[in-house]
Amino acid sequence: MSPKPMTRPGGRSARVQESVHAAVRELVGETGREALTVPLVAARAGVTPSTIYRRWGDLQELLSDVAVERLRPETDPVDLGSLRADLDAWAEQFLDEMASPPGRAYIRDALLGDPDGTNAGQCSAYAAEQIDAILSRATRRGEAVPETERVIDRVVAPMMYRILFRPGRLDAAYARELVTNALDRP
Amino acid sequence: MSPKPMTRPGGRSARVQESVHAAVRELVGETGREALTVPLVAARAGVTPSTIYRRWGDLQELLSDVAVERLRPETDPVDLGSLRADLDAWAEQFLDEMASPPGRAYIRDALLGDPDGTNAGQCSAYAAEQIDAILSRATRRGEAVPETERVIDRVVAPMMYRILFRPGRLDAAYARELVTNALDRP
């Protein structure tokens, strides 16, 4: 179990994390994932390989941490004036991002180097936070809303399952059908 | 991309596969997964390490193939006389097996050593075949049935998503709630 700080540590520790993550992103962009090694990442980041092994355990755990950072949503869900419109837009964008080649690679990396499930749980927490934000906004508008866990089960889970296990139709109309199922039955 | 024969090949090839799979199962039982190496598996199976590398690429791909074999259902779904009862029983058993520590380890192994998604697709195909069998039986009884893909989205996907990404309530009542959602709306 390597330590995986979910709140960014301060000081030197934060600088090491940032430079190592940046080195991974640069090297993946330049040479691809297959050619990546801990010594290469260390040299680019200006740290020793043992710093990386001590903090992340191995390359897979480092890639998992980098992937979770990349899967962190960068903006609040867009406000389109109604629950239905907001959830449709969010689900379509989520599916678009997660089913893209980089999205699939990040999901895979996040799961692979994550023996205790911390990073997978963080990915799911990101989705839940975005859904919470949409539902809270709808509640403030006076709309009736389902529970967050229901939206996870009915919208997020089918999309992620199909991305990982069952290739097939993954388009905007599919995302909207899932939203219908989450909203129509209380 | 190592070759992954989904239909069992005959003759020597089949014997090699069977002895290598058996060696993995035995060694995992005796010493645990962490201590497993290709030379250890080869010695136990009575083949050369290069036979394993040639056929499976690396240990992760071999473990993925073994996991898919272990996830193959051994029996037809039980016939309890109605669609609702059959789906409830199947979903409860599926959740029980997949959420168990060995089930989780097999799902993880199946995904990890599976760069092209063949083995993940096979896991999903096993579930779809069992659901198909339940739905065909119900049709023969004259019951109205949902599409298989709807049952995948509404029953299988949420269970697998929670197992992989979102720890929480994973009990028989949860499985039955998911079946209700799959059956109540056509």
ipTM attached to this prediction: 0.89
Question: Which pLDDT belongs to residue A3?
Answer: 46
Residues of chain A with pLDDT under 50: 1-7
**What residues of chain A have any CB closer than 8 angstroms to a CB in chain B?**
108, 111-112, 117, 120-121, 123-124, 149, 152-154, 156-158, 160-162, 164-168, 178, 181, 184-185
Q: Encode pLDDT of B52-109 as tens digits.
A: 999 999 898 999 999 999 999 989 999 999 999 999 999 999 999 999 988 998 999 9
Q: Which pLDDT score, from 0 to 100, does residue B3 have?
A: 46
Mutate one of A151, A160, A161, A176 to test the B interface: name it (highest B CB count within 10 A): A161
Nearest to B18 by CA among B61, B47, B38: B47
Percent of chain B past pLDDT 70, that is, above it, reads 94
Distance between CA atoms of residues B52 and B49, nearest Å: 5
CA A153 – CA A148 distance, rounded (Å): 9
Report, in angstroms and rounded to the nearest whole number, the Rg of chain B calculated over CA atoms.
19
Res B185: pLDDT: 63
Q: What are phi and psi of B142, to 5 degrees?
A: 95, 10
Would you list which residues of chain B are within 8 Å, Cβ to Cβ, of chain A?
Answer: 108, 111-112, 117, 120-121, 123-124, 149, 152-154, 156-158, 160-162, 164-168, 178, 181, 184-185
Please state the rounded mean pLDDT for residues B165-183.
93
pLDDT of residue A9: 55
- Residue bearing tokens 């014997």: B15
In sequence order, which residues have a C-beta less than 8 Å from that of residue B154 and are 6 or more positions away?
A: A154, A158, A181, B178, B181, B182
Show Cβ contacts of residue A100 under 8 Å, excluding neighbours closer than 6 positions. none
- Structural domains in chain A plus CATH codes: 11-57 (1.10.10.60), 75-184 (1.10.357.10)
